[in-house]
Structure formats: structure tokens, C-alpha cells
Structure 1
Amino acid sequence: METISKTPSELTEFVLRPNLGTSGRHIRVRSNFFEITSLPDMEIIHYDVTITPDVPPILNRKIFAEFEKLNLSGALGNVRCVFDGRKNIFASRQLPIKDSQVFKVSLPNNQNTSGKPLPKCFELKVKKVGKINYEELVLFLGGKRQLTPNCLTAIMALDVIIHHQPSMDYVTVGHSFFTPRDSRPISGGAEIWQGYYQSARPTQGKMMINVDLSATAFYERGPLLLMITKLLGRRTPDDLRRGVSDKDYQKIERSIKNLKIRVTHRGELVSKKNFKISKFTPSSADNTKFDSNGVTMSVSEYFQKTYNRRLNYSFLPCVVVKRNIYLPIEICEVVEGQRHIRKLSEKQTADMIKFTCQQPHERANKIRQGLDILNYRTNEYLRQFGLTVNNDMVVLEARVLSTPTITYHPSSRDFAFQPREGSWNLRDKKVAVGATLGSWAVVCFGSERDSPPQMIQAFIRQLVITCSDTGMDIPNKTPPIIHASPQGDIENILKQAWLRAGNISKAQPQLILCILPNIGVPLYAEIKRVADTVIGVASQCCQNKHMIQAKKQYCANICLKINVKLGGMNSFISPSQVPFITDRPTILMGADVSHPGPGDLNLPSIAALCGSMDSRASRYSASIRVQSGRTDIIADLGNMAKELLKTFYQSCGRKPERILFYRDGVSEGQFSQVLRGEVDALRAACASLEPGYRPTITFVIVQKRHHTIFFPLDKRDADRTGNCLPGTVIESTITHPFEFDFYLQSHPGLQGTSRSTHYHVLYDENSFSSDGIQQLSNNLCYIYARCTRAVSIVPPVYYAHIVCRRARFHSHGDDIEISEGGIGATSTFGVVKPELQRVMYYM
């Protein structure tokens, strides 16, 4: 084995960590990582397995277990292998299998949980791939060798070893497994199961296992009749006697299609067989007829005659499980452990959040309990591979960075201050640059009975007073008020409001304030589509229930949004604290790509790029593209960047000399592809504006979706929710062995356990030190425009994320269908009007 150290430039295509940061107060925290104290000291043998016919991993595991049972003492030579459920088998020593061998396996009938008939026999083709030696991985962890394919396979093998036992015993989804022992029913016939995530992670000098809590929704086990009752929002099955509409039946049919059930009327033996629901019968059990031995009878008559069972709910339809097999709903049980893959309703999502929201100390305790289930100490597979794991969470060095000084308008009593624990309020403060609102209208969607004019006027008075106190100029304090039906022609209603605003004030309308009767998506979506892409006017929505109360705090939050929508600036950071932005013309960019939900295969992805417009980096312009496929590369980044560079030049009179590019929505496996494609696109955009124009670029990946959590060791280092203080940064022990990454928890805890953001600098022509990029990223989190608290992710990326979400509403088509999940497949996307593109209309 070659042990010559690589030179730094040969170790990685990305930036090496320049140094460890020193600024801030040094503290210690615990993290949900558990050290692998001994790696395999033998060569692990890697086999490829192909199972035909192709079936899902859950069945593959059952086939593998049966294969192991039949061949343990023979072809497997008493070696207990581990299997990833798809293609890979790892063994602790060579198996007595030829280079490639085929085995036949039949599953016993009671193993079939798929609801479909299984083939009589499966074929397993097992083929040796190679050997894994852990010396190479040890060199990588120590920063002496690059991440080779062999290292990646070695890490994958560790993952498969730790996952093998839980995946055989429990329901597995990705890196998580779930158990019904800690579950809770939620609305709509679903239940949440608590689960555990685990992943083998390379860190500085060591391999560790990252263990976290997971939760996912399953269909609630038990009588199908009860599930249908809950789906319809009824209290008891007897409430169904009052009748169910055809529309409701269609809704339920969509919800329960492909659900696995078993029957309860023929005893325990038969009930192990599963069926899959395909649809409802068009008629009730009393009226659904079929031929039985030449006699035509209804399903109800059949059950009375054959099983001496009178159906209690014969007025309900039957479920069809195969052609001409009809099962009355009341004899069906929903099989346990079926994942709820449809989008959760708002109520279900709220229930899910409540279930998963746990204080940091609770979460830490639950993770420790998870180790008892994972059982690293007595797991025979780990022992066989020589793996030992420390059962204590790792303790890390961390630092709490200083809080920046935030600046409002000089006429404020409290215009420059340092917030405490990441939040503040607007009392005695005026926005840095207040916009003028002279031409506007109010549209109230709903009847005058629900929203009387005097109530709306009271709300507008409070809003105008609050906006004026906060530094906006509102010469027109009595805008026209229009009542309209939420089911009406929204486009026409908003055009009328725009005309009324312009005619009354004799000026170009600036804003339409919309009061909504509910928080439903379709009305809101249509308002944004029309205002953004048809009329080209800023819109602000608020809910009727908030208008009725008209609290000052609520009005202040709306004021922050309206001010930036009209081109104002709410606050900025003192220039001395962001020298990278203020020393030389610098543009901050944030990029994100959002993909449609799992069921929306025909919908496009949306890419958004946001760029700062001045040296204060408080105002941003946005560019949007709709792109096909689910690729994470931004297809038209060059032209999008060109738009923003031009806007910066028109706003400042100078071209940016530096670009700091924060990129969201990229997984580790795509770092290389995204970096190469997108830095090249930025370069090309600059060169196309002017030959020889070559600003220096820093490219940073921003990840929020990870399972790394930090728990303060000392109460003095925690905020009032028990989370780490805003500004907590971790860059050693659990970070990359030698690349430039760090975790930053920039926001104060609200509820539950806060999650930090993982920043990974891939490319850096601006020679950032660790302190430089960490302090700048932390400071930026204090000037997110629409709230008075530090946020968890740098604003340019936050804005790009909001713009992606907003662009989903810019769709319009003949057959438009806007649901909570997105937009119907036949729709086309409107383009944001030029007059809005230079203001933060999306806030």
C-alpha cells in the first residue's frame, strides 16, 4: 500500500481549509455523532447481486433472508453477509462461491406482503466485485490521500453493515428505519411513526455514525371503515348513514388506491394474505351483483348465505381488489407499516410538526434511547466485521461569534444597536430608506357582512399609522376599498382595483392590498400570478382574522414587507463589519432550484437567482427560469447572472469586482458537477458583458437538509429555548477531513431543536480566511428584510428559495389546477413584469 502524502492541490478539486478560525468566545457542545473506535482490520469482500424479477427493496430483503437460511452452511460457508436491499453484498471473508453463481429462491406464501401475486421462483446471481482495504480510508481521514472510489466503497460498506440488522427488522426508508412502538394518529386516517436515521460519516481523522430522530407518516392500521370515516371528517362510521356524495367517494378513492388490506371474516389463517385496493364499486354492497355458481346475487346476499354474516354497512360500496373480487369495506383491515406517500394536508402537516417538535434535551435523550434499538454493542454483524462504536455523543470545540451592529434610519431613537440573542423589535426605529405609497387600493375577498367597511377602515388606519411611524411616507391614507367574491374572476377584479387606484390618485398604482377569507392556496396563487405577471404591481395579502384584530406588531410586519416591495430598504449592517462587501464593489448572489413533488412528474423545475444591488447588500433583484427535468444544474445561469450584473451596474454605476455566490439545493455527490458547470457559466456571463471583465469568484454550497445537531454543554451557552446561541460555529472534529466547511447556527431557537446550516466553500479566488467567511455569513443573517430576528440561512439563498416558491404561482393554462402540491401539468408560466424585477416583489 502506497503511503506517500499527496500535495494539497492533489488532495481535492475543491478548496482546502485555510486555517481554523479564532474569533468569538470559545465554548464546548455535544453533537449527535458517535465515534467508530475500531474499523475492520480484515479485507472486506464485495459481491454484486442481481435479483430477478425486479422487486422493491423490502421484498429483496426477504428474498435475501430466505437465500441466507437455505445456503448459510453451504455456499455462504457460515458467513453472515450484509445486504443493502438492492445490489451489494459485503462479507467478512471470501465465500465458497465461484466468481459468479446463480441461486434459486422461493418465498413462502406468508412472506408476500406486496398485495400482488409473486413469481414462483426468484433468481439471485452473485458475482465477486473486489476487496476493500481500510488502510486507504484511514489515509483519507488523516488528510494524506484524496477520496478515491475505494474509499467511497469502504464508507458504503460501513453504512450497509450498520443498517443491515435494523432494515431486516423494521420498515426502512432511505437511511432511516421506523417502528410502530412510538406512533401517534393524526387527522385523515394517517399516523406518524418515530424513527431513527443513521449514516456513516467521514470526519477529521475518524469515521463516525450520525444518529438522529426521523418521523414519517404511515396509513393508520386498523379497520378500513374507520379510515374512511376519518378521511371524510366524520366522527363515527354511523355518521356515514346520512349519505356520502359522489365527489367525496372520488376523493376517498384517490386516497386509498393501492392501499394494502387484509380481510377479517375468514379467520386468522387467511387474514395473512394481502390485497391491493384498485377502486370502489359504482354501487353499494346491496346493489353490486355478481354470478356465484350460476346464481346472480348481491355482495350482501353472498355474505349472508356463505358466512351467515349480515353486513352492517351494506349501503356503502365495496372495494375492488382484483377483477370481479368485491370486498365489503367493513371486513377490510388496513395493513400496518404502509408509508403515506401522498402530500399531507395542512392539518396533517401541523400535527406532524407538533409531533416532531422537541426541546433539545428531549431530542438528545431520544437519540440516546435510539442507541438501545440500534444496539451497536451486541450487534453480531458489527462484531463479525470488527466494528466497535462509542455509545457517547462526541464533545466538540465551538465558538460563539460576535453579534453585528444593525443600522436603521439616523432619526430613530435607537438607530444603531447590537441585538441580544438574535432578535429585536421595531420600537423607536425607522426603516433605513422609507418608500412612498401614494397610489393603492384594497380588495376584500368576501362579503360585507364578514368584513364590514368600518372594520377594514380601522385596519387601514392602524396600518397607515404604523407604516408612518416606521418611516414610510403615505400621502394617500384612504385608498379605495372593493369587496369581491373569492370565487369570481380574480384577474378582472385586480385590474379594476388597479384602475380605481390610478384614477383616484392620478398616479401609477403601486400596491394592491388583498384581504383573504382563508389561508387556502388557490386564491393566493391567482392573486400573485395576476399582480406579478399580468398587471405588474406589488401585492400584499393578509388574512381576515388578523385584520379584525389589527395588532400593531402584525401591522409592523406587513410594513417591513411593503417597504421593500416598493423599493425601500429596512436595515443594513455597519460597513466596518462587512468590509468584504464595502471595500470594493461586490455582488452577493444566492441560487436555488426547486423540483415538483414526487407525484408531479410532468411539472418543470424552477431555478431562481437573487443578487444584491448595492454596497449595503440589503436590497436584491431576482431572475427566474423554468427548466425541464429534475436536474440540479441551473441550465441558463449565464443569462440570469448577466441580468443581475447589469442591474448592479445600473444601481451603483460600477461593475462588481467580486462575486460571492451561495448555492442551495445541492447534494454532496453533485458538488463537482455543479461547481464546474456554474462557475464556467458565471465566467462566460462576465466575459459577454465586456471582454477581459473577470471578477474574482467565491462559490459556497449551503445545506440545510442534514442531520447534524448541536447541544450546549453549559446552560450559559444556551438561549432560552435550550438551543445553541445565535452565532455558534463548529469547524473541527465532525467536519470534512481537509476541505473548507463549517456549521453555523446563526438564528435563535423558536420552538423545538434548532438546526444549523452547513456551509462548504468549493472555490475561492477571494482568499477568505475561516474567520472571514464565517463572520460575514453570520452577519448577513441579521439583515433578512422581512423580520426582526437573525435567520438560519444567508439572505441571498433565503430569497432565492422564496422566489422559487413564488414562481410556482406564475402558472396559467386552460386546465390549470393549483393544489397545495403545486400546479397542473398543462400550465404555462408567466414572466414577472419588468417594473417589479428590481424590487423585492416576492417578499
Structure 2
Amino acid sequence: MAAKTGGAVQVHKNDTVKRTAMARNGSGREGKPIRLLSNHFAVKLSGIDAVFYQYSVSIKSDDDQVVEGKGIGRKVIDKMLQTYSSELAGKDFAYDGEKCLFTVGPLPQNNFEFTVIMEETSARAVGGSPGHESPGPGDKKRVKRSHLPKQFIVGISYAARIPLRSVALALQGSDSDHAQDALRVLDIVLRQQQAKRGCLLVRQSFFSDDSRNVVDLTGGVSGCRGLHSSFRTTMNGLSLNMDVSTTMIVTPGPVVNFLLTNQNVRDIRDIDWPKAKRMLKNLRVKATHNNMEFKIIGLSDQPCSRQTFPMKVRSGSSEGQTVDITVEEYFKSKQVFLEKPYLPCLDVGKPKRPNYLPIELANMISLQRYTKALSSQQRTTLVEKSRQKPQDRMRVVTDAVKSNRYDDDPIFSSCGIKIDSQLTRVEGRVLSAPMLVVGNSQDCVPFKGRWNYNNKKLFEPVRIERWAIVNFSARCDMSRISRELINCGRTKGIIIEGPYSLVDEDNQARRCAPIVRVERMFEKVKANLPGPPEFLLCVLPERKNCDIYGPWKKKNLHEMGIVTQCIVPTAKMNDQYFTNVLLKINAKLGGMNSKLALEHSRKIPVINKIPTIILGMDVSHGSPGRSDIPSIAAVVGSRCWPLISRYRASVRTQSPKVEMIDSLFKPLDNGKDDGIIRELLLDFYTTSQQRKPEQIIIFRDGVSESQFSQVLNLEVDQIIKAYQNMGQGPPPKITVIIAQKNHHTKLFQADAPDNVPAGTVVDSGIVHPKQYDFYMCAHAGPIGTSRPTHYHVLLDQIGFTADELQSLVLSLSYVYQRSTTAISVVAPICYAHLAAAQMSQFIKFEEFADTSSGSGVPSSSTAATVPELPRLHADVCSSMFFC
């Protein structure tokens, strides 16, 4: 039996419910029309009768070992095509570099096995460098064998048939099983073109080593600008989405220079070699003495002058004997004289067969991805150097489409694919900014997505009586900070009494561990205050990644139940600075800085009449390469209905790198629920005149299109179970909206060089041909090129019109209490992200601090069970502590 609710089909079978994403139910009409361009290029598809045939590929070496490397796989397949073209009927291939290749039309038979002979393709067995893996002097048998051609066995077997017509059906709005497969083949053709040009491929982006596209970020890391390209089905038809993309690469050059800059030391003697070993592992280098490429697996235990390896030495006609020789002596015998024999060697062999290469003879090869987390300074530099004005970005992508000559590809030609070289024209609308209300019920009209509190007071200012300033920074005038904060607060309506105490950290405490420093500071606070303060202002010594921040927040929010605001002294501590600090303090202490005029007059459509809770959901993961750090799931829920400006957060840990939230409903053995949703529903009930929400609006961040089904069927089910677990009553009506920032569609004004205006929305042309989605730029982009948020409506049982929903999304971009600008994505999602980030600090410096080995591998105890996150103290759990 099939029922239809809010556009999403529910199939009932054996009491299970399978929800699918709803279809579009119309477009919005409100707003001022605007002519736009988008970085989509129209694709004409004349050969829709073409059929792709997919074949599975296996590549084995002559010793029956499976070949895994992407680079060698492409070389082997290219050689196979040259050698056996007639057996393969002269077909052109699209090869993904791994285990799949595609042809237009079938090959002469379903299964092939070819022997492919390559010239030497691996540097690992080539001479010129000492060790078990390469020949020494007199080892002629070994030398001869190392230069023999390499033989591979390539197996090809038929796997599937993918009709290109499926794309045409998808464009018409039909459900087509093969449409995504066919688009994947087209994307693989694009990737193959770039691989042949020597580009670094990262998913659907490609990067060349053109120095004009590389920016030094210091620390041996560079930002590399490239291009993203992917085919998309849109309301206008098939399009090629081209965008500028950036990845991080290791700065090429001498390995010694890399280590000096990576560790920020001037002298080679100051290099931390255990740290260098971790950093260098798996990177590739080119030897300067023989031009061979190698992969680093480690470092030698001894410097070149003392590191030995066994080498056969032949004397006369006898077989000779094996002697131990140092790396330095070996290279001297080859007329290569080392200037720094006191340095260790790179091990470029295999785990049980080392092969030593002196560091001074090795250069980092170009276009190697750097996947570790960037420092705050590197991130700042990357953002500043990656910015492009809209006109520059338009020019880059248009030039790329023209210069790459995609139409010339034989596979595209045989499919009748032609790609337009002009940006797609799109009709958009600019929605009016919502009116805000500030202190004394004064109207505040945002202009270009911005407003300010000049000569205005906060809507609902708090009064601060018991508070203190604690100072972890040696360079801080606490008296001035106190005076200016009080004066600024007075002009904004916040009455701040003089602080009870200004508590300086003892000099000797600064040398202690962060947790000890925090404990000692609290002892001084207790000694200086007559009772627990309602608020503490904390002055930190550094802005980003301060190691005191996590322990300080945990002590206050988990143990003491005290609201705290951290600041860092800067040269620009002016009125604007203190106003921004006060916005956060006021929101954390329960005040409200501004609210929507519609909220104030209780006239928000749909929400005002029926109790409605708005949820913002996000999952924060550990930094790249840290698989031992649990992920943090955070959900914020609105409170004090019919307000949509106040929120409470609930946060839990879950398995590392898992995106779906598994603790929304968490039944215990006693039948009770300890999940996130119960906590938020109870809070809503107690703050909303004892009313249960009859409508739930869910904004979900951070999921890809392939995960939409899981959100609809796993997370929504948990929310319904949590609701039902709290008592009888009809189930709530649910609306689910995904917000995506990590996409590559950009919008440009057709008639102006500036970014699109705040409030720009597009729900036609470049949107999905069937599903309900739209793009919105709620914010004004003063620098760079604005990125719209892509909203997908997966379920709408509440029954919003397109205009009502877009108006709500825009309004929720104006209720972010920390700022005086419209933000790019709805506030509930930003709050969830902030809550997850702040709570993750609780564990960052304790259970999961970097070990001395720095392996990043979880211990068996860590991997088996995810540690519980410390819960918030009862005095702060309902506050907007994350603001």
C-alpha cells in the first residue's frame, strides 16, 4: 500500500516505512526579478541511443600480485590499448584509474586476458641507491634483472549495460535507475582527460602544477588552485558545472627545506626527527642523482655516515663475499659526495627490505596532496589568497571550458555531446529583508543584509551584577577592559556593575599544564569572590587553538555551571569590538539582541498558529587523519514558542567519521529515553505554555545527496519514536530541509560586476528537474564570490507554499544573535555547528590529546567504545552557551 504525505511517498510493507524525497510543488513568486548567470554550461545530448558498457578490470603483476596504484593502472591500460587495439575493435575507453572501464557499445567479447609489457615503471627496484632493494657494486645479475621490462596480466570482464537514454528520462523527471551511473561515466571521461594532462585528481576536481595557481601557505604547504567539473541534471537540461577549486599540496623542492619550513626551525640540527618521520611517511620524492621516484616509508636509525647495509663484493673470479658498507661510503664509490652525512637517510624500500636514500639527494615531487589539518595562520592565508571577484571567477571557468575542448573527446563525440561555452542565464528573485525590532520596540531595517546598534539598545538586555575578569594573558590591561565593557554596555541597555575582582594568573602557574592552570585560577576566583559569579570574562593569551580554552570551558560549563566569555586582547579593542562581545554575553545570559518584527507581533505564517519546534542538526568530525577522535552530534531546538530566535542545544559523541546521528532516540533498559530529541522536546514543553509541538521543522547540515534517504528513514524515524515515547497523541507533522554549502554552483549578476544581492533566490533553471530544491544567497558578499546555500526539501507534511518556505529560510538567516549581518545559512544550523565545536573542546585536550608517537590510530579500548561527552551543568544547559 502506498500513501502520499507532503509529497514524499511512503511505502508500507511489514510495518516498515520507506520515505523518498518529495517532488517540487511549485516555485516562488515573491521578490524583485533579477537577471543572473550561473557557472553551468548547457550540454546538448543528441546521441541518446548510445549505450555504455561497463567492464571490470583486474591488473596483476607477473608474480600474481594485485596492482593497486592509480598511476600505474592508467599507464598499463594505456599500453594495453596501444598493443591490443585491433582485438578491442579500436574502441575508445573511459577508465576510472581503478577497477572499471567503459566503452560506447560492446567489445567483441565479454572476457579478455591480456599480457601487457611495460618498460620499467617502478622506481623501487632500480639501482643507484643502496639497500636490499637495489643492486650494489658487482651484483650484475641483480642489475640486469632490475632493468628488464615489467609484465602485467590485465583481465577485463563484462559487468553492466548503462543506456545514455536514462539521462534523458531523468531530465524529464522520470525515476531512472541508470541516470546516476551514466553521469558518472561522463564524469570519468572528464577525469581521464585531465589525468592524461598530468593533473592531480581529487574526486571531481583537477589541479596542474602551473606556478601561477600555487600559493605558499608556509610550513611546507601550498594551496593549489584548480577546477571542479561535473555533469548535473537540471530543469533546463543536462549541464556541465565548472568551478574553481582549491586543494593543499606539499611544497615541492629539497626535502631538507621542506622539513625546516614545516617545523619552523632555521638550523638543520633543530629538526625533530620523530616528528619528521611521521610527516614524511608515504610522500614521494625524486632522487637528484638518478632522477628516479620513490615512496618514503620511514627514516634510517643512523645517519648516512654510520647507517650500514650488506653488499656483495666480488674479488677476481670468485663469487665474492657480503660486507657491511655505510651509505656514505657507497655513494662515495659512485662519485656522489654527501655534504651532510650526519643526517639520517630516507627509507624508500619495503618494510622488511630497507632501501636508503640520503635526504640531501631527495626532492619532493610536485602535486602531492597534503591531508593534515592546517594551522589557523595557514587557513587565514589560504582564504585571503583564494578569494576571487565574481568577474575573475566567471572568466576562469569560461576560459577553462573553451581551452579544454571537451567536445573533441572521441567518447563525447560518439554520444553526440556538445558543450556550450557560455555561462547559463538564470532568472532569480531578490526577497525583501525581514524587519527587525530592537530596544524600546524600535524598528530596525537591514540594508544590504546588514544593520547596527549605533544609537540603539538591545531588544532584551540583561543586568550583570556578580562577575569577574580572569586573566591568562601577560599583556592585558584588565582595568581598561572592564571600564570599556561597562561603558559600551550602558549605551546598549545592559547594566553592568563593577566586577567583583580582576584575577591575574600567577607567573609560576604559566609554566604548568593547561588543566592545572585552570584549576589554580579557580582557586583564586573562589578566594576573591563572596559566592559563585553569574558570569566570568576570561582573557586568553592567544586567539586560535589556545590550549587553555577547552579545560576552561569544561570547568565552567560542566562542573561549575557558570556562563563564560573568552576574549583575546588586540590593538582594535574599540566600541565595535566590545559591542560584538556584548552581543554574545547578552545572548548567553538569556537576553535577546534583536528579533523579527513578525515574531514580535506574533504573525509568523504557519508557525504562529500551531506549536512548532525548529531543529538544527549537525555532526562535527575530528581533523583529517585522526580516526581516534569521536564525532560530535549536535542538535539545537527552538524554545519559548512562538519565538524562533531562542535555542537550546543537546550534544552527544558518536563513532568517528559517522555522519548519521544515532542518539536522537536512545532507549535505556528501564524503558526511558536518554536521547537528544527528548531533551529538546521537554525544554520546548516547559518554555511554551506546556504545549507539545504539533509541527517539527528540521534543518539538517552536512549530508550529501546519497545520504538523503538515511536522513528520511533513520533520523526521522528516531525523532518520531522519541516523540511517541513521551506519551499519547497524534504524531507531529514534519518538514525536513537539507542545507548544503559544500557544492559548486555559483550565481553572478548578469548586469553588474558585484556579488548577487542579499536575499537572492533561484528555484528554476539550474535546479533539479524533479526534486524540490532551491538556491539562496541570504547574505551580502562584500569580498570574494558569494556561495549560495543549496536547500533540498525532502519532506513537507506541514504544507508550506514555496514563498512561505523561502521567506522562513531567509528570516532564519536574520535571527543569529552573534552578528549584525544576515548569515549564509539558517541560524539553527550555525548554532548546532557552534555547539558541536565548543563541546568537542571538552575532550580535545584530555582523552584524545596527541600521543608522543602521534600515530593517530585508536587504541583497542578507544575503538570499541565511544566515550560519553561530559553533560552540561543544570545551571547552563538551557542557555545559549554556544553563542
**TM-score between both structures, scaled by the size of structure 2:** 0.86
Counterpart of 1:318 in structure 2: which amino acid? Answer: C
Q: Distance in 2 between matches of 1:438 and 1:112?
A: 71
Q: Deviations over 1:187-243 (max 9, x none)?
A: 1222232211111111115111111111112122222222223224356xxx43xx3
Partner residue in 1 for 2:209: 180
The correspondence for 2:53, drawn from 22, 46, 50, is 46
Deviation (angstroms), 1:471: 2.0
Q: Distance in 1 between matches of 2:276 and 2:343?
A: 13
Give the AA of the match of 2:645.
S
Residue 84 (structure 1) aligns with:
96
Name the SS for the 2:501 alignment partner.
coil
**Which residue does the alignment assign to 1:646?**
682
Partner of 1:4: none
Determine the structure 1 residue equivalent to 2:237. Answer: 206
- Looking at structure 2, the residues matched to 578 and 8 of structure 1 have their Cα atoms a distance apart, in angstroms, of 23
Measured against aligned partners, the alpha-carbon deviations of 1:598-624 in whole angstroms (never above 9, x if no partner) come to 312222221111011122211110011
User: Counterpart of 2:563 in structure 1: which amino acid?
Assistant: A
Which residue does 2:662 correspond to in 1? 635
Q: Which residue does 1:3 correspond to in 2? A: none
Which residue of structure 2 aligns with residue 427 of structure 1? 454
CA deviations over 1:522-567 (Å, ceiling 9, x no partner): 22222222222232222211113x2x65311111111011111111
Counterpart in the other structure of 2:3: none
- Offset at 1:289? 4.3
What pairs up with 1:502-517 in 2 under 5 angstroms?
506-517=530-541
Percentage identity across paired residues of the two chains: 30
| Preserved CA contact (<8 Å) 1:51 1:124 | yes
* 1:690 maps to which of 727, 733, 736: 727
Distance 1:695 1:156, change over 3 A: same
| Contact 1:284–1:315 (Cα < 8 Å) also in 2 | yes
SS in 2 for 1:796: helix
1:215 aligns with: 246
* Aligned residue in 1 for 2:120: 109
Matches within 5 A, 1:401-440: 401-410=431-440, 415-440=442-467
Deviation per residue, 1:626-652 (Å, 9 max, x gap): 111533221121321111111011112
Range 645-654 or range 121-130, more displaced:
121-130
Note if contact 2:469-2:499 (Cα within 8 Å) is conserved in structure 1. no
- The answer to whether the aligner puts 1:60 opposite 2:73 as a matched pair is yes
Q: CA deviation at 1:111?
A: 6.3
Give 1:227's aligned residue: 258
Instruction: Select the residue among 611, 617, 638 that pairs with 1:585.
Output: 611
Kept in 1, the 8 Å contact 2:518–2:551? The answer is no
Cα 1:498–1:658, aligned 2, differ >3 Å: closer, same or farther?
farther
Between 757-766 and 429-438, report the one with greater CA deviation.
429-438
Question: Partners in 2 of 1:23 and 1:356 — Cα distance?
Answer: 35
Q: 1:212-361 counterparts in 2 under 5 A?
A: 212-234=243-265, 239-240=267-268, 243-244=269-270, 248-265=272-289, 270-271=290-291, 273-290=292-309, 293=313, 298-307=326-335, 309-322=336-349, 323-361=353-391
Q: Report whether the alignment pairs 1:133 with 2:138.
A: no
Structure 1 residues 234 and 809, CA, compared in 2 at 3 Å: closer, same or farther? closer
Q: Mean Cα displacement is larger for which, 781-790 or 474-483?
A: 474-483
Q: Which residue of 2 aligns with 1:560?
A: 583
Moved more, 761-770 or 649-658: 649-658
- Between the aligned partners of 2:812 and 2:856, the Cα distance in structure 1 is 33
Q: Whole-Å Cα distance in 1 between the matches of residues 562 and 483 of structure 2?
A: 22
What is the rounded CA distance, in whole Å, between the counterparts of 1:780 and 1:757 in structure 2?
A: 13
Counterpart pick for 1:607 among 633, 640, 647? 633
Q: Indicate the SS of the match to 1:127.
A: strand
- Say if 2:813 is the partner of 1:777: no
Instruction: Tell me how far 1:513 sits from its aligned partner.
Output: 1.6
Letter in 1 for 2:281: K
Report the Cα offset of residue 762 of structure 1: 0.6
CA distance 1:669–1:296, shift in 2 (3 Å): closer
Aligned with residue 560 of structure 2, among 510, 526, 535: 535
Does the aligned pair in 1 maintain the 2:618–2:702 contact within 8 Å?
yes
Q: Which amino acid aligns with 1:774?
A: Q
Q: Which runs of 5+ in 2 are unaligned?
A: 1-5, 11-18, 60-65, 127-132, 135-145, 314-321, 666-674
Structure 1 168/427 Cα, relative in aligned 2: closer, same or farther at 3 Å? same
Task: Report the alpha carbon displacement of residue 507 of structure 1 after superposing the two structures with TM.
Answer: 4.4
SS at 1:811 equivalent: helix
- SS of 1:589 mapped into structure 2: strand
The answer on whether the counterparts of 2:648 and 2:878 sit within 8 Å (CA) in structure 1 is: yes
What is the rounded CA distance, in whole Å, between the counterparts of 1:813 and 1:553 in structure 2?
32
Give 1:158 deviation, angstroms: 2.2
Instruction: Encode CA deviations 1:65-111: one digit per residue, 9 max, x unaligned.
Output: 1221122122x1011121122333221222112x2233333443146
| Counterpart AA for 2:611 | P
Listed one character per residue, the Cα deviations across residues 738-763 of structure 1 (whole Å, up to 9, x for unaligned) are 22110000011142111010111111
**SS state at 1:213 partner:** strand
In structure 1, distance between residues paired with 2:855 and 2:596: 37
1:224 maps to a residue whose letter is V
Give the 3-state SS of the residue equivalent to 1:582 in structure 2: coil
Q: Is the 8 A contact 2:29 2:803 kept in 1?
A: yes
Return the alpha-carbon distance in structure 1 between the equivalents of residues 327 and 855 of structure 2: 40
Please say which of residues 769-778 and 353-362 is displaced more in the overlay.
353-362
Q: Secondary structure at the match of 1:153?
A: helix
Equivalent residues of 1:142, 1:205 under 8 A apart: no
Q: Secondary structure at the match of 2:758?
A: coil
**CA drift at 1:694:** 2.3
Q: Residue deviations 1:285-329, cap 9 Å, x none? A: 33434555466554334433431x432223333222234533222
Match of 2:194 in 1: 166
* Cα pair distance change 1:487/1:752, threshold 3 Å: farther
- Between the aligned partners of 1:54 and 1:297, the Cα distance in structure 2 is 33
What does 1:417-816 correspond to in 2, within 5 Å?
417-447=444-474, 450-451=475-476, 455-484=477-506, 485-488=509-512, 490-491=514-515, 493-494=517-518, 506-521=530-545, 522-544=547-569, 546=570, 549-575=572-598, 578-614=604-640, 615-638=642-665, 639-653=675-689, 654-715=691-752, 722-811=754-843, 816=848
Q: CA deviation at 1:587?
A: 1.2
CA contact (8 A) 1:808 1:822 kept: no
**Following TM superposition, by how much is the alpha carbon of 1:21 offset from its aligned partner in structure 2, in angstroms?**
0.7
* Runs (5+) with no aligned partner, structure 1: 1-6
1:440-488 Cα offsets, whole Å, 9 max, x none, are 22221144xx33xxx2111111012112322222234453323244443
Q: What code does the residue aligned with 2:209 have?
A: P
1:444 and 1:366, CA in 2 relative to 1: closer, same or farther beyond 3 A? same
Judging changes above 3 Å, is the alpha-carbon distance between structure 1 residues 410 and 187 closer, same or farther for their aligned structure 2 residues? same
Go from structure 1 to structure 2 and tell me whether the alpha carbon gap of 1:478 and 1:508 turns closer, same or farther (over 3 Å shift): closer
Conservation of the 8 A alpha-carbon contact between 2:50 and 2:415: no
- Kept in 2: contact 1:44–1:90 (CA 8 A): no
Call closer, same or farther: CA 1:743–1:471 in 2, change over 3 Å: same
Report the Cα distance in structure 2 between the residues aligned to 1:660 and 1:332, rounded to whole angstroms. Answer: 57
Picking from 15, 33, 36, the partner of 2:40 is: 33
Structure 2 partner of 1:100: 111
Q: Deviation at 1:337?
A: 2.1
Contact 1:596 1:822 in 2 (8 A): no
Match of 2:142 in 1: none
Q: Using the TM superposition, give the Cα deviation of residue 708 of structure 1 relative to its aligned residue in structure 2, in angstroms.
A: 0.5
When residues 504 and 438 of structure 1 are mapped into structure 2, their CA distance, relative to the original with a 3 A threshold, is farther
Residues 514 and 818 of structure 1, relative CA distance in 2, 3 Å threshold? farther
1:397 Cα deviation after fit: 0.3
Whole-angstrom CA distance in 2 between matches of 1:296 and 1:21: 80
Distance 1:600 1:794 in 2: 29
Say if 1:816 and 1:823, in contact at 8 Å, map to a contact too. Answer: no
